Amino acid sequence: MTEVMTSADAHSDPSADPIMDIIAGATRYKIMMQCIEIGLFDEIESLGETCTAETIAKKCGYDVSVLERLLSTLASYNLLQKDCNRKGMPSYRNSSGTSKYLTRSRRPTMIGLAMSVDAMIHPLLDNLPMLLKSGKPKLDINKNVADNGNILSSSPNHQKTPNNIMDKENNMGPGSPIKQNMSSMPHIPKMPCMPKMPPNSTKMPMEKNGIDYQAKFLMAMEGFSASCASSIVKAFDLSQHRSAVDLGGGPGRISFEMANTYPHMKITVFDLPPVIQVAQKMQQPCSQGQIFFKTGNFFEDEIPSADLYLLGHVIHGFDLKGIDRLLQKVYSKLPPGGSVLVMEKILAENRTEPELAVTNDFVMTLLSQGQERTFSDYQKLFSKHGFVNVQFKHIDGLNYYDVMLLKKPF
């Protein structure tokens, strides 16, 4: 007679659960990345319907027995949906999230974001022993603020980084410090949605497939807000504003969502020249006439006038000196009653949650002198510069954003 033990009879040590989850998470991430690299999700998407392992294996030249196990694994991660066809055989299709965010035919995509973590953050973590002893980031991207107000020059070769992390010729230029250091990504097969630009002295080196590093980097930036951009722009009622400037706006994903939500609003994406050159080519046709692009450095140059400024993932990457300069500039430019929409992930007051914000706070030590902050930290920071009525809204779900709205008094 076979004895069956219930959960009341036997269970594993629950104190080991978070450890096992982290260990398993590393494997899950690596499997997902390899499937992105080989274009498996794209191949499944191109078939247009649920398909068997045999169909996929024949199309891609894979061993069917290994592929069957991989597809079942991806289904257990909810990256694929597993069904049975009319013959009773297992069949697979991309889950809605995979189809939306991990295929090259769609925008916005999270492919660039996932690859930037693999190409940059993980190698930087190899320097953790040195960081603990020196207390200095391997990439100090704020070192030029004190000298000339520029985090990184828009010229190639301005900052050399370890060869195993970034190509020495990469240009790193958007307003956010995180943005400025995520431009090196591994090779991606050709993506029709990305523009091919003729090379010149102000643009980044081209790859063989015609996709430059800057375009890949902008894809990564799209990935940050891909799942929550609509929630961000709807967190507060901004309908009273007629004009907005997205400082360090990168590819303009937040601006595009703002335009969709507030069709009366004129919006300017302000960023360094190499970023704007690509962002313009990525502009959605429906936003033309409402979204405009202007090149410049928000530390050195005059910023466009508006009654609303957007700061997405900008403040957290700078030291206090850089933040003070930027906020003073924005405050002086705003008309009385104007607003600033600040988009950052907010730490809880105990600084141990949410996990993503706490992890990002540590990751900042690898990249810059920046940091994540609690809402009370931000309140003190903004009030120091004269802003009032600071409001905060949490964006639900696993994402990189919460939202704060601050006002310049009348």
Give residue-wise pLDDT tens across range 250-272: 989 999 999 999 999 999 999 99
Q: Which is more confidently placed, 184 or 222?
A: 222
Q: Given 241, 313, 316, 385, which residue is catalytic? A: 316
Domain of residue 29: give its range.
Answer: 17-101
Any idea what the CATH number is for the domain that residue 345 is in? 3.40.50.150
Residues 215 and 255 in one domain: no
Those residues whose C-beta lies under 8 Å from the C-beta of residue 388, and which sit 6 or more positions away, are 406, 407, 408, 409
Residues 389 and 375 in one domain: yes
Residue 41 lies in a domain: yes
Residues 125 and 231 in one domain: no
Give residue-wise pLDDT tens across range 99-114: 999 999 888 889 989 9
Provide long-range contacts, Cβ within 8 A and 24+ apart, for 318-325. Answer: 318/142, 318/145, 318/151, 318/177, 318/368, 318/369, 318/370, 319/142, 319/145, 319/368, 319/369, 319/370, 321/145, 321/146, 322/142, 322/145, 322/151, 323/381, 324/385, 325/145, 325/149, 325/299
Look at residue 295 and give its three-state secondary structure: strand
Of 377, 321, 326, which is closest to residue 351 (Cα–Cα)?
Answer: 377
Q: pLDDT band for 213, please (50, 70, 90 cuts).
A: low
Q: Which residues pair with 393 in a beta bridge?
A: 403
Residues 237 and 312 in one domain: yes
Residues 220 and 231 in one domain: no
In this predicted structure, what is the pLDDT of residue 76?
A: 97
Residues 216 and 232 in one domain: no
Q: pLDDT band for 212, please (50, 70, 90 cuts).
A: low
In this predicted structure, what is the pLDDT of residue 6?
A: 59
Any idea what the CATH number is for the domain that residue 36 is in? 1.10.10.10
Q: Of all residues in the chain, what percent carry a pLDDT higher than 90?
A: 62
Tally the domains of the chain: 3
In this predicted structure, what is the pLDDT of residue 372?
A: 97
Mean pLDDT of the chain: 82
Residues 184 and 297 in one domain: no
Residues 256 and 199 in one domain: no
Of 379, 380, 378, 360, which is closest to residue 370 (Cα–Cα)?
Answer: 360
Does 316 qualify as catalytic in the annotation?
Answer: yes
In this predicted structure, what is the pLDDT of residue 400?
A: 94
Give residue-wise pLDDT tens across range 340-373: 999 999 999 999 999 999 999 999 898 888 999 9
Of 227, 222, 233, which is closest to residue 399 (Cα–Cα)?
Answer: 227
